[in-house]
Amino acid sequence: MDIEGKVAFITGTRRIGRLVGVALGQRGAKVALGYHRSRESAEQAAQEVRAAGREAMLVQADLSHEEEISDAVKRINAAWDGIDILVNLASVYASKPLEETTRSDWDLNMNVNLRSAFLCAQAVTPGMKARGGGRIINCADWTAASGRPRYRGYLPYYVSKVGVVGLTEALALELAPHNILVNAVAPGPMVPPPDLTPEAVEKVRAVTPLGRWGGGEEIARAAIGLIESDFITGECIRIDGGRHIF
């Protein structure tokens, strides 16, 4: 797909999502930046897209609510007459022991990490079909793409991300006849969380074969490559510096 002139909807524009949105804008896309609470990050991304001479709009939505997803897609369609690219990056990530994990914790992970990706894809596909095709990029995790958990304390998160891999494959099969290609990126050690200690940051670096954290730009590059490809679908690409082979 030639990104020039296309309409892209990015969910979760804090941190990595901001970089993906800016990269798409720099390649000529109109970019709708979805956010729930991180308006400042979305506004920063919008400014960078506009600085590249492209249009950008902010779309606030709580992706755990189906009606807000529908309203967000309607707003983008009204402004730009359709969506060609959907990048589902909204995600929650938190550690909690099994005995302390509540049903609310489970539901939050499933709703934001998995259910919202399904609902967003379902909302945009009628328009993509009418436009002759499209691209959907989901966000999994390097552990889920590797087929086994690696850390205790992330049960609902891990299960939700395994679900994202399955969702990607099933959507790819369903939508292939309509020239809608669906893939996933599976980030590994990209950007250290702000609450991570220097010792923990160094430990992750030490067990990553390439010997460093990747940086969010690597996710943007991978997403761009999958969007531009016309023959990759149903794939989940690990971007983890070789962490899965250590």
What pLDDT is recorded for position 64? 84
- Spell out, as residue ranges, where the chain has pLDDT lower than 50: none
- What pTM value is reported for the model? 0.96
The answer to whether position 2 is within a domain reads: no
Domain count, the chain: 1
Looking at the domain assignment, is residue 47 inside a domain? yes
What integer pLDDT is reported at residue 196 of this predicted model?
86
For the chain, what is the HEC assignment? CCCCCCEEEEECCCCHHHHHHHHHHHCCCEEEEEECCCHHHHHHHHHHHHHCCCCEEEEECCCCCHHHHHHHHHHHHHHHCCCCEEEECCCCCCCCCHHHCCHHHHHHHHHHHHHHHHHHHHHHHHHHHHCCCEEEEEECCHHHHCCCCCCCCCHHHHHHHHHHHHHHHHHHHHHHHHCEEEEEEEECCCCCCCCCCHHHHHHHHHCCCCCCCCCCHHHHHHHHHHHHCCCCCCCEEEECCCHHHC
Residue 107 belongs to some domain of the structure: yes
pLDDT at 139: 97
Q: Has residue 1 been placed in a domain?
A: no
Domain of residue 29, CATH code: 3.40.50.720
Q: In this predicted structure, what is the pLDDT of residue 15?
A: 80
The set of catalytic residues is 157
Q: Is residue 39, in this structure, part of any structural domain at all?
A: yes
Question: Is 163 a member of any domain?
Answer: yes
Q: For residue 81, is it within any domain?
A: yes
Q: Which domain holds residue 209?
A: 7-245
> For residue 63, is it within any domain?
yes
